[in-house]
Structure 1
Amino acid sequence: MRNVQPIRRLDQIEKMKKALLKYCSYRDYMMFSIGINIGLRIGDLLQLRVNDILGGTHIVIIEQKTEKTKRFLVNPQLRKEVRRYTKHAKLSASDYLFPSRKGAGPITRVQAYRILNKAAEMAGVQDVGTHTLRKTFGYLHYQKFKDLALLQQILNHSNPKDTMIYIGLTQDLMDETLMDFYF
């Protein structure tokens, strides 16, 4: 199993976005953008419908993995971007946000993985998988707010250590200490 990492640098996030728009599609760009901004697991993200995001101020879902109800605020910038996308893609309120080109359902996890890896290859970003979206959300949220307890709650982790490992902080700290460790 590959070691999937968060995308830690903003310039790499921008490269991913550009690659998704250039080599994939607007839909795929939106999957990435929404994924790194709300931190849902890929299975929950792919099940979102237009109305889930545009129907109110929050997304309310039952998480597939935990079967717990989760409520996420959708910030105004993301909501505006989703409106622009749904208008461009001619999606109705009941449509999946990320519709498959083959059939009535959303794209699959496998297809999402292929899309993200294609964009990552074009952008020169390594260690990308479907979990990268959620891990990137967690990493950036922690970098901005420095509140591990809150992030643990948002990600539904049982302890802070799991959250630190999940978002790559443990590896970052080890690397940082070893960089200057020489006798």
Structure 2
Amino acid sequence: MDQMMETKKHNTNKGQKLNVQPLRTQTDIETAKFFLSKNKMGKRDLLLFLFGINTGLRASDIVVRKVGEFRNTKKPYIVEEKTHKRRKLNLSNLAEQIDEYIADKSDDDWLFPSYKDRSKHLTVNGVYRMFEVLGKQMGRDDLGTHTMRKTFGYHYYKRTHDIATLMEIFNHSSQQITKRYIGITEDEIDNSLDHFSIGI
């Protein structure tokens, strides 16, 4: 569902990849962090990435955040743009990075400002371009704006095996949709074929 939305949205732009994947290994995550930190706005891009893979929010819900929402709280509430649902974030694991990042910013500042105009926030297309560049740097053609959300889901499931809660976090209508979305179904099919052969 989310994948289809991303595909539709970006096919009208610059041909978004049809099969956006999560970052499945810690090595891939560290590699992404390294490249993002070297960008012109490395601190912004690195925090955006960490924010995305630790909350599972859509890019559209990340880019519109204001600094004041995260001042003196580790568990802010937001309203998701697509679903209009109120959701509590748990940012305890990111509190130190966020506090350091916003220390010299005012509450009305965008958390992730545009590079060209700080009075505006980074756009979803800007995030898309960021991942397009990152994909080239990592030698991959399957990264996109949903990579962060899928990475969160993939690792949440791998650690907890709680697909029901993850389905609720993503607001999906079935566990099958959630498993397919985060790449678990693909993994399971691939693993089932590892030792399968006929006539060999």
TM-score over 0.5 for the alignment? yes
CA RMSD of aligned residues (A): 1.4
2:128 maps to 113
1:101-137 Cα offsets, whole Å, 9 max, x none, are 2331211111111112212322334411011010000
Would you say the 8 A contact 2:80–2:86 is kept in 1? yes
Q: 1: distance between equivalents of 2:188 and 2:136?
A: 27
Deviates more, 1:118-127 or 1:32-41: 118-127
Query: In structure 1, the residue corresponding to 2:70 is in which secondary structure?
Result: helix
Would you say the 8 A contact 1:12–1:125 is kept in 2? no
Kindly indicate whether residue 178 of structure 2 is the aligned counterpart of residue 166 of structure 1: no
1:65 maps to 82
Q: 2: distance between equivalents of 1:91 and 1:121?
A: 32
Please report the TM-score for the alignment, with normalisation by the length of structure 2.
0.85
2:22 maps to 6
Unpaired runs of 5+ in structure 1? none
Query: In structure 1, the residue corresponding to 2:111 is in which secondary structure?
Result: coil
CA deviation after TM superposition for structure 1 residue 51, in Å: 2.2
In the TM superposition, structure 1's runs of 4+ consecutive aligned residues that sit over 6 Å from their partners are none
1:99 maps to 113
Distance 1:57 1:23, change over 3 A: closer
1:35 to 52, 56, 68: 52
Q: Identity percentage over the alignment? A: 37
Please report the TM-score for the alignment, with normalisation by the length of structure 1.
0.92
1:62-90 Cα offsets, whole Å, 9 max, x none, are 11111111111112x30101111223xx3
Which of 1 and 2 has higher RCO (CA within 8 Å, sep 6+)? Answer: 1
Would you say the 8 A contact 1:27–1:98 is kept in 2? yes
1:143-176 Cα offsets, whole Å, 9 max, x none, are 1111101111111112111110110111000111
Unpaired runs of 5+ in structure 2? 1-6, 8-16
